[in-house]
Amino acid sequence: MPKIVTDTLIFNEDEASEVLLETQDAEDDDLEFTLVDPPANMVCNLTTAGKLSCVPLKDFYGVDSVMVQVVELGLPSYEEPNIVQKKMMVTINEVPDKTERFFFDLNEAFYIDKRPRMIHQYRINANRSNSLFAGTIVLADVDVQVFTPIPRFVPLGNATYRLSKARADTILLSNYTSHIYRSVEAFDVEFEFAPEISGSMTLEFIAKADDGSYTPEVTLEVYVLENPCVHGHCTHPLYGDEACDDNKRAASFDGYFCVCEPGNLYFQK
């Protein structure tokens, strides 16, 4: 009577592995293996010689099971071959994954993770507004994590920023990626600044996960462009209005001039 000796199988998350199932047979008969009930969370193949090759489904870790069968071969026609089945426990070890980051800008356009840095720039005219909602930073991990933000802010004058915890359950990442995440956290980002000051400010955002790892960086650069055009708009004598959309205007208005809107006689400070 053959016996399947192997009791448990161990694999690693997202890693293909193979193992030769161990058997015993007092008569040393030839044995043929077949897969009776494969694991629910793995793709497996079993050779007739008993080599089991498995690949866990992406990002899965935990426990599963597999049932195999062996049957004796090469017996005389008058002997009934013994058939043995066995259910074995399977453990898929967790392998820490890198946290992914996503970004929804102020127009709700979606940006997927980009390594090593994700940078977004904003240009806003001075003398028009004193605040800017930049968008939402999203951190997602296939493992269970809690994130603690560690932002670094280089301000413009007395400018400030605000990070507000957003409702992650309203963000449907399944619309943008096929990954299934166990942890998702989101942070709204808003800047406040004096409207009459021009220049730039930068927020560098990372977070620490509770496993001790750090998320990749998201950098938000805000350029407040010098804008003396009170009742008009900026233009350039050679390149027109589009040339005004330049980060250099955060430092100086030299080379530009204001175009007066109809009905206004005084348009430049």
Q: What is the CATH number of the domain that holds 117?
A: 2.60.40.10
Q: 266 pLDDT exceeds 70?
A: no
Please give the average per-residue pLDDT across 162-187, as a whole number: 90
Query: How is residue 128 annotated by DSSP?
Result: T
CA dist 62 and 91 (Å) reads 6
Q: What is the mean pLDDT of the chain?
A: 90
172 & 82 share domain: no
* Domain C-terminal end among 93, 115, 139: 93
Question: Which three-class secondary structure state does DSSP give residue 243?
Answer: helix
Q: 213 pLDDT exceeds 80?
A: yes
Q: How many domains does the chain have?
A: 2
Q: 78 pLDDT exceeds 60?
A: yes
CA dist 57 and 178 (Å) reads 12
188 & 86 share domain: no
More confident call, 169 vs 34: 34
185 & 128 share domain: yes
Name the amino acid, one letter, at 99: T
Rounded to 5 degrees, φ, ψ at 199 are 145, -155
pTM of the model: 0.70
Alpha carbon separation from 261 to 15, 52, 234, 239, 250 (Å, rounded): 65, 77, 11, 19, 23
What's the pLDDT tens digit per position in 100-114? 899 999 888 999 877
Q: Is residue 191 part of a domain?
A: yes
Domain of 175, in residue numbers: 100-225
Give which of 80, 63, 62, 61 is closest to 71, Cα–Cα: 80
